[in-house]
Chain A
Amino acid sequence: MDTACKECGALVAQPAVDREHQYYCPRCDAMLYRSGQEFHYIILMALSSIILFFPAILLPILTLNIAGMEQSTTLVEAVWSFFGDGYTFIAVLVLLSGIIIPFLMLTLILMILIPIHYGVSPRKVATLFNLYEHLTEWSMGEVYLISILVAIIKLQKMAMLIIGEGFFLFIAFLITMYITMVWFNPHDIWHQQKSDDD
């Protein structure tokens, strides 16, 4: 009995960190250990996701054509439109949750894993790791994606609609980001240190 369940407080045996099995709490079914991927694979996946990020937010996602007039928007311009209407709080909120935080999550993974990969003590990056955990809930890239689909359905009745490269790149960005986050199991950080000490 050398750890406790985060969600119900029950004392449980430290799960074996073998990257193959998943362990659940016997009392509340919370996941105690989620098997992750080797660090260098995660680093590569995070890097490819970051490369996709910039064209995804800068290229047009949608172009609307009404009676010869064209209007197109990018992911950044769309969230920034609240700012033009005087709603600074919502503008900042959607800019953070839809664009900046998803990007920050990937940057944090790199800032945590690269130093550890080169032998830096995990304790030095513990603050980043706490920040990562807190931000997970506020990362809303996937919500933004579904909202584009809803907007497409709403707008297609009004006028001719062209879906831009930005939209497809954003999907690719979200998929690679999702894989990175699933592969990244924060608890492996502390295990890594343990095996180094042995």
Chain B
Amino acid sequence: MIKSDIEAQKILCTHCGLLFDEVDEVCNRCGADLHQRKDNSLVKTFLFAISSLIFLIPANLLPIMVVTSLGNKDPGTIMGGVIYFFHHGAYGIGAVIFIASIAVPAFKLSVLFYLLYIVYWNKTQKAYGAMKYYRIISFIGKWSMLDIFVVALMVAMVQFKNLATINTGEAALAFALAVVMTMIATESFDPRLLWDKREKK
């Protein structure tokens, strides 16, 4: 029967892997502070996930890039870019942008709320499956930044005075903030909470 550190009244130093008694406060091997679980993990994860959700609204409604060619301003949204590529038969690139900018952020937030739900209602029997989702969102987290880097390159490359210029749109800021918030939310989440059985009161 597998026992957890809490059941055995132990604390793990997550930095060097040494195990201590619950009364210890500092790791004597690497000097790190000992915490049995990440502090305020649920509250932090929840708040950062909510802020990310809020930033995603302007990120999708406002233009991410403004193309000016021969005096005509053409602001384009993220979804607009995806539709443009599908219209012109560039399905591969359309799919890459759609997955990185729309599907991945939506998936990450849904998983975060699902993890919070499992911990909050203490559904430990679902821990094994939830763990897989947790690992997926930790792994794909940074890829949502893809479109921001693309905008940076487009703005840097297309500066041909009267002929054509590209400038940053407001959505770039909102989107970057949304990505950072989800990454912090994922980092704040302590996956060990999924497995901790709580006594019913």
Contact = CB atoms under 8 A, between A and B. Distances in A.
Interface of A: 1-4, 6-11, 14, 26-30, 62, 64, 66-67, 69, 71, 73, 77-82, 84-87, 89-90, 93-94, 97-98, 122-123, 126-127, 129-130, 133, 137-140, 143-144, 146-148, 150-151, 153-155, 158, 187, 190
Closest 6 CB pairs of A and B: A147-B149, A9-B192, A151-B153, A81-B156, A85-B168, A126-B30
Contact of B15 (A3, A64, A90, A133): A133
B12 interface: yes
A90 B6 CA distance: 41
Given A8-B195, A69-B160, A187-B17, A90 B31 contact: no
B192 A73 contact: no
Interface string B125-152: 0011001000000100111011111101
Sorting the interface of chain B by its residue count into under 10, 10 to 19, 20 to 34 or 35 or more gives: 35 or more
B186 to A, nearest CB: 8
Q: Which one of B30, B149, B158 has the highest number of Cβ atoms from chain A below 10 Å of its Cβ? A: B149
Interface of B: 2-6, 8, 10, 12, 14-19, 29-32, 90, 93, 96-97, 127-128, 131, 138, 141-143, 145-150, 152-160, 163-164, 167-168, 172-173, 176-177, 180, 183, 187, 191-192, 194-196
8 contacts: A7-B131, A78-B153, A137-B138, A137-B141, A137-B187, A144-B149, A187-B16, A190-B30
Contact of B32 (A27, A28, A130): A130
Given A85-B167, A143-B143, A6 B14 contact: yes
Contacts of A122: 30
Contacts of A71: 157-160
Contacts of A79: 149, 152
Given A89-B173, A139-B142, A147-B153, 19 more contacts: A4-B5, A8-B192, A8-B194, A10-B3, A10-B4, A10-B5, A11-B2, A11-B4, A28-B191, A62-B157, A71-B157, A90-B168, A123-B29, A129-B15, A137-B141, A138-B183, A140-B142, A151-B154, A154-B154
Contacts of A1: 3, 8
A176 B155 CA distance: 29
B153 A62 contact: yes
A9 B4 contact: yes
Nearest to B130: A28
Nearest to A154: B154
A4 B157 contact: no
B155 A97 contact: no
A67 to B, nearest CB: 7
Contacts of A137: 138, 141-142, 183, 187
A155 B164 CA distance: 12
Contacts of B173: 87, 89-90
